A and B are shown apart, each in its own frame.
Chain A
Amino acid sequence: MTDDAPPLRKIIHVDMDAFFASVEQRDFPELRGKPVAVGGSSQRGVVAAASYEARVFGVRSAMPSVTAARRCPDLIFVKSRFDVYREVSGQIREIFSRYTDAIEPLSLDEAYLDVTEDKLGIGSAVRIAKAIRAAIKAETGLTASAGVSYNKFIAKLASDQNKPDGMCVILPDQGPAFVASLPVKRFHGVGPKTNEKMARLGIQTGADLREKDVAWLGAHFGSWAEGLHRMARGIDYRPVRSSRIRKSLGGERTYSEDKWTETDLREALDGIVEIVWDRIAERQVRGRTVTLKVKFADFRQITRAHSLDRAVTGREEFSAIGHHLLDTVMPVENGVRLLGLTLGSLERDGEAEETEQPRQTAFSFD
């Protein structure tokens, strides 16, 4: 080991098993042991989560409900209850916080914990992971899988290794071999397209990737080369960030019937403004950019953005900009199936003063 190698860390990745679906099976016993999909069953619906019984049939999250129903004719669709999921998510985070404050939530059902130094002085990441899984089971009635390792990249790969209700520990000397043994499609950032491209280049596993040098990777994957090079060696120095800096906040809706008329679209947009601004207000974020997303019946998607040189002042202005952006796509040449609105270029209160970028100040007229 060289002198400048960073100190060894203890990272846990906790991932709830089929989270939304498991919550539904917990609360509605008649669903237990059955293939369940959370999400709308309509023509337009998308599966938000699938129970393990449904996954056997090839039902996956983000799959169109129509496809899911075709793969699993007995699939039971249940409506999502995000308020409940959010509540359970809060319970889980409270459990994490007993052991460490270095918690980086990735979503409602997933988080990284840095337990290099734990609050209770347990000292063993493996024992902490066991205790957390037991507490989750006892207090929420749900199961979680955990990956324990020395960085985020491997911890996440490990939590997936013995799912569901499982745990996997990868020690520093096992890391490179573990990564080498996995198919590259399990690596973060390697989606179907990249996987296909890698397959064409003869890369199936981490070991294959490891054989390539940075220059070769650069030629084929551009600026991602160094990242891939590190990944193939199981190296990841990213810290666990307890408050992830949010870059945008928004929401969207898919409509059961395509919208064509200005009246319908304006009304639909008002509905989205309502939902999104509530989230913005709740989190007290300020942002300068408003982005409108429009998906048409033929699945063509466009976005239109408007940036101010200051933060959006309130719901009224947010709405006005949204409608102004809608003006730019009117009249629509195709039915609209989805509308979304996002507030971006976020700053937190007080953060503006800390940034190093020069900032134009404004008059206060009132």
Chain B
Amino acid sequence: MKATIERASLLKSLGHVQSVVERRNTIPILSNVLIEAREGGGLKLMATDLDLQIVETADAQVETPGTITVSAHTLFDIARKLREGSQVEFHAADGRMQINAGRARFSLATLPRDDFPVIAEGELPTSFELSAQDLVAIIDKTRFAISTEETRYYLNGIFLHVAEDGEPVLKAAATDGHRLARVTLPRPDGAEGMPDVIVPRKCVGELRKLLDENGEARVQIDLSASKIRFTLGNAVLTSKLIDGTFPDYNRVIPTGNDKLLKIDPKSLAEGVDRVATIATEKTRAVKMALGKDKVTLSVTSPENGTAAEEVPGAYSSDEFEIGFNARYLLDILGEIEGDSVELHLADASAPTLIREGDKAQALYVLMPMRV
């Protein structure tokens, strides 16, 4: 194999590919990136952790086609340190891969391509497109609620499913058992009849990075009940789906919460953040006392002292107090784009519904803290 690629395009592609590779690997070949120099030009770079696989293609001049694997992180580090604008020449022979760029030369250990595991996609019968913008919204407005508890593996991802809500919709939901985030979009063409799927957290993270950098307007999604594939321009991300049953989350979305607070999300978030400074526990509990057209936020720490702040807002129901984890509240408020947010409350121990309005894409449910 012999090929030449520009350092900039190598670095860009490797940047995506290497982040799939786990830092600590017990199977040596999983530390490697597969490089395929294609007949007629172009390099294909591929990495996997057995659950998630990325393939990225880049322009390159190919003299001799061939395929080899080398350490992904080493190659990435080399590419980073090479001079800007340099041409990088790969030459694989006799179990080594030579890299020449300018006056620098490297010879890297390799592993044969035949050992490189490839995720068998199988048939992916459901195919549809989403705009990058919608996909970003799905991810950003739900991913913070994904559970990190590995024992509840079926919550370790974003749940995607289609439904009829007066009109056909695609819903994305994530929860860690304490809060729930859901985004609803019109159902894209081709998504009808799709199986319910749970997209793993790592796949979500890698996809989000690609969306940031790729600048593609549309993303092609193909899926079956066990695999999902995202195609964004030169990058193809394929992931196994979480094999589990996502709980019936609709049951925890309250419908009869009759106490409504309308407030500026920014002022509320800033107030919560300020009073939470005083909290010392790992989970910082903030008390919200609801009164006529205002909320009094307060924190009491046995060691540190107390903090309180009043935030004006529209409220005319009964006065009462409720506690929340400051972090959870800030996560949600941070995703509210408008200048008004609705908190639909019932009592100090019931789930609270948070949304911009009844037409909003995103909806959040937060369980209180007992304080």
* A245 CA to B341 CA, complexed, in Å: 45
A75 to chain B, nearest CB (A): 46
* A362 CA to B150 CA, complexed, in Å: 17
A135 to chain B, nearest CB (A): 47
Give the residue of B149, B251, B283 whose beta carbon is less than 8 angstroms from that of A365: B251
* A17 CA to B285 CA, complexed, in Å: 52
* A260 CA to B337 CA, complexed, in Å: 55
Q: Is B281 close to A, CB under 8 A?
A: yes
Q: Which residues on B sit within 8 Å (CB–CB) of A317?
A: 151
Please choose the segment from B7-15, B257-265, B362-370 that sits at the chain A interface, where 4 or more of its residues have CB less than 8 A away: B362-370
Contact B369 A363 (CB under 8 A): no
With A365-B247, A365-B252 as known contacts, state yes or no: A353 contacts B370, CB within 8 Å.
Answer: yes
Q: Which residues on A sit within 8 Å (CB–CB) of B149?
A: 308
With A317-B151, A324-B150 as known contacts, state yes or no: A361 contacts B370, CB within 8 Å.
Answer: yes
Please choose the segment from B172-180, B204-212, B269-277 that sits at the chain A interface, where 4 or more of its residues have CB less than 8 A away: B172-180
Give the residue of A353, A357, A365 whose beta carbon is less than 8 angstroms from that of B248: A365
Q: Which residues on A sit within 8 Å (CB–CB) of B371?
A: 358
Q: Is A193 close to B, CB under 8 A?
A: no
B352 to chain A, nearest CB (A): 11
Q: Is A107 close to B, CB under 8 A?
A: no
* A14 CA to B225 CA, complexed, in Å: 65
Give the residue of A309, A320, A362 whose beta carbon is less than 8 angstroms from that of B283: A309
Q: Is A70 close to B, CB under 8 A?
A: no
Contact A360 B252 (CB under 8 A): no
* A310 CA to B283 CA, complexed, in Å: 13
Can you name the residue of chain A whose Cβ is closest to the Cβ of B249?
A365
With A308-B149, A363-B367 as known contacts, state yes or no: A358 contacts B26, CB within 8 Å.
Answer: no
Contact A362 B247 (CB under 8 A): no
Q: Is B325 close to A, CB under 8 A?
A: yes
Q: Which residues on B sit within 8 Å (CB–CB) of A321?
A: 151
Q: Is A331 close to B, CB under 8 A?
A: yes
With A308-B149, A310-B177, A324-B151 as known contacts, state yes or no: A360 contacts B283, CB within 8 Å.
Answer: yes
Q: Which residues on A sit within 8 Å (CB–CB) of B151?
A: 308, 317, 320-321, 324
* A99 CA to B368 CA, complexed, in Å: 47
Q: Is B351 close to A, CB under 8 A?
A: yes
Contact A358 B252 (CB under 8 A): no
Contacting residues of chain A (89-106) with chain B, CB-CB under 8 angstroms = none
Contact A358 B247 (CB under 8 A): no
A174 to chain B, nearest CB (A): 42
B208 to chain A, nearest CB (A): 26
Q: Is A244 close to B, CB under 8 A?
A: no
A11 to chain B, nearest CB (A): 32
Q: Is A263 close to B, CB under 8 A?
A: no
Q: Which residues on A sit within 8 Å (CB–CB) of B313?
A: none
Q: Is B306 close to A, CB under 8 A?
A: no
Q: Is A300 close to B, CB under 8 A?
A: no
A237 to chain B, nearest CB (A): 23
Q: Is B349 close to A, CB under 8 A?
A: yes
* A324 CA to B26 CA, complexed, in Å: 17
Contact A358 B369 (CB under 8 A): yes
Q: Which residues on A sit within 8 Å (CB–CB) of B349?
A: 361
With A317-B151, A320-B151, A324-B150 as known contacts, state yes or no: A364 contacts B281, CB within 8 Å.
Answer: no
Q: Is A359 close to B, CB under 8 A?
A: yes
Q: Is A366 close to B, CB under 8 A?
A: yes
Contact A363 B252 (CB under 8 A): yes
With A331-B26, A363-B367, A366-B247 as known contacts, state yes or no: A358 contacts B177, CB within 8 Å.
Answer: no
* A358 CA to B283 CA, complexed, in Å: 8
* A335 CA to B371 CA, complexed, in Å: 48
Can you name the residue of chain B whose Cβ is closest to the Cβ of A317?
B151
A315 to chain B, nearest CB (A): 13
Contacting residues of chain A (315-333) with chain B, CB-CB under 8 angstroms = 317, 320-321, 324, 331
Contact B369 A359 (CB under 8 A): yes
Contact B180 A360 (CB under 8 A): no
With A308-B149, A317-B151, A321-B151 as known contacts, state yes or no: A361 contacts B249, CB within 8 Å.
Answer: no
Contact A361 B251 (CB under 8 A): no
18 example contacts (A-B, Cβ-Cβ < 8 A) are as follows A308-B149, A308-B151, A309-B178, A310-B177, A324-B150, A324-B151, A331-B26, A357-B281, A358-B285, A361-B349, A361-B370, A363-B178, A363-B351, A363-B367, A364-B252, A365-B247, A365-B248, A366-B247
Which A residues contact B (CB, under 8 angstroms)?
308-310, 317, 320-321, 324, 331, 353, 357-366
What are the nearest 6 A-B pairs in CB distance?
A358-B285, A365-B247, A363-B252, A358-B371, A361-B367, A362-B177
Other A-B pairs beyond A321-B151, A362-B178, A363-B365, 19, CB < 8 Å = A309-B178, A310-B177, A353-B370, A358-B283, A358-B370, A359-B370, A360-B178, A360-B325, A360-B367, A360-B369, A361-B349, A362-B367, A363-B177, A363-B180, A363-B252, A363-B351, A363-B367, A365-B177, A366-B247
